[in-house]
Structure 1
């Protein structure tokens, strides 16, 4: 979709409908107020049609939503390119390089207040060193010209700014031991990456837990996943499952419940954050 995936379209519609209800207006009254046909209001609220950023701005004005941060989040859900969301749109400079799915993922990540992730193969992108990111990119996209590899690494590093924001993104990650044992880029690169994990894990808004091989079977064996949570808008959590050529977004309440429970279970099976740091440092010393 031009203005974002179905998950954001439906979430945006539901929130706009809630704002209309709180304003005490019917869809017909809103349509008359802004000069639209009632069916347009209904299509936006049900997610049947994409909402252009300008249309969202018109509705927010009608509902007297003035808070700039809240407006920026609504506009970002509609794929805003305007000045109000400019600080969240740095990735547009790489539009010719990044597929729409990746751009949309970055957009969600930039607006999230919390991320919970299970990784079973590689270090989370937000925690990768430049040389580790380069090695992962080369392995995943074999044959890509060196210039494009450089740009993709730049994108990966730019994404990490969310951890230095105000407020910073809250990151909770459970890492399968295989992530730490696989020498991506060679043992020197991996050793420096492990030391980077120990360093970042000491930040108050970052929590890393290791799921050791000794834990045996666990729900995460089905594959990695990520859960985005957002501020200011209720019930906006999204589960993301990454595949080789695309990402799957899950938004149903039952899916969110299942993956939230799975993540909680994995945290219970994993080493504590303190023990995990020692575990990572121990593996790093031997790398």
Structure 2
């Protein structure tokens, strides 16, 4: 099983190796210029070691003109979450410039959820298929609370409130500059399942109707009339990243774990599946009309 930091460490290392190659340096030469042993560069490039933002900056300074400003900013941001636990990642990994808001919830959020949030925060776009619940980025507070209670029965209310706060904080990516581009296909069951009761569901449907007007959100509904479809194998999310296509990753959620798929064949298969599911879904305007109709009837 691949977890977020492991995936990102390896792919980050591959990108750094490509930049070094373009700069015309060997790993030994790059290491000497930075003042490291060659083995450190090797560990970073093969993903066996975490890498801190300051290490990234040192390497990129050495690689010089082959590194664009946008690449530099992205690689420095990615290095904070890519460090994760493991060789070379000390207790301070992720602190300082690379520190992000979800690190404040270490005692509450499992590592896999923090990995997911870091991927979401760094992504350029996300494509998702949902069969049972509204995607977290589009949930209202009361709907998020009802989902959390249902999924984690018996959890003390203060922890439920904290998890809802996290869910709402995640939604800031849709308001960032530039915002995350979200393409979501929802099974019709998502709109008709009464999570939290009629009042909560009515509010959630009205919210969905409003977000369909956002230029960064493409929301489509897969109607019951379609019958069987590829999405029945389970929900998934595909994250894509700016400038570095090789960092794209598919995330599959299970009851007790998450699976991260990064092989080219997996990415192509899930991208094709998403396009096929989109093709069977209602167009965005018709989807918006259906959501508005259901909200009015709720």
TM bucket (normalised to shorter chain) is over 0.9
Partners of 2:117 and 2:60 lie apart in 1 by 24
Match of 1:180 among 174, 177, 191: 191
Partners of 1:216 and 1:4 lie apart in 2 by 34
Match of 2:169 among 158, 172, 179: 158
- The answer as to whether partners of 1:162 and 1:169 remain within 8 angstroms in 2 is yes
What is the match of residue 90 of structure 2? none
**Alpha carbons of structure 1 residues 93 and 77: separation in structure 2 relative to 1, 3 Å:** closer
Partners of 1:69 and 1:49 lie apart in 2 by 20
Partners of 2:260 and 2:195 lie apart in 1 by 28
Q: Secondary structure at the match of 1:207?
A: strand
**Alpha carbons of structure 1 residues 22 and 125: separation in structure 2 relative to 1, 3 Å:** same
Match of 2:261 among 228, 245, 250: 250
What is the match of residue 77 of structure 2? 73
Deviation of residue 4 (structure 1)?
5.3
What is the match of residue 252 of structure 2? 241
Q: How does 1:37-76 map to 2 (within 5 A)?
A: 37-64=37-64, 65=67, 67=69, 69-76=73-80
Unaligned 5+ residue runs, structure 2?
Answer: 84-92
What is the match of residue 92 of structure 1? 103
Q: TM-score, normalised by structure 1?
A: 0.94
CA RMSD, aligned part only?
Answer: 1.7
Partners of 2:276 and 2:68 lie apart in 1 by 40
Q: How many residues align structurally?
A: 283
Deviation of residue 11 (structure 1)?
0.6
Q: How does 1:125-140 map to 2 (within 5 A)?
A: 125-140=136-151
Q: TM-score, normalised by structure 2?
A: 0.90
- The answer as to whether partners of 1:56 and 1:74 remain within 8 angstroms in 2 is no
Unaligned 5+ residue runs, structure 1?
Answer: none
Partners of 1:198 and 1:6 lie apart in 2 by 38
Of 211-220 and 275-284, the range deviating more from structure 2: 275-284
The question of 1:205 aligning with 2:209 is answered no
- The answer as to whether partners of 2:5 and 2:81 remain within 8 angstroms in 1 is no
**Alpha carbons of structure 1 residues 146 and 261: separation in structure 2 relative to 1, 3 Å:** same
Deviation of residue 66 (structure 1)?
7.4
Deviation of residue 62 (structure 1)?
2.0
What is the match of residue 112 of structure 1? 123
Deviation of residue 286 (structure 1)?
2.1
Deviation of residue 281 (structure 1)?
1.4
What is the match of residue 83 of structure 1? 96
Q: How does 1:188-199 map to 2 (within 5 A)?
A: 188-199=199-210
Deviation of residue 39 (structure 1)?
2.4
Deviation of residue 22 (structure 1)?
1.4
Q: Secondary structure at the match of 2:259?
A: strand
Partners of 2:131 and 2:110 lie apart in 1 by 24
Deviation of residue 197 (structure 1)?
0.3
Partners of 1:286 and 1:77 lie apart in 2 by 44
Partners of 1:70 and 1:28 lie apart in 2 by 25
- The answer as to whether partners of 1:239 and 1:250 remain within 8 angstroms in 2 is yes
What is the match of residue 259 of structure 1? 270
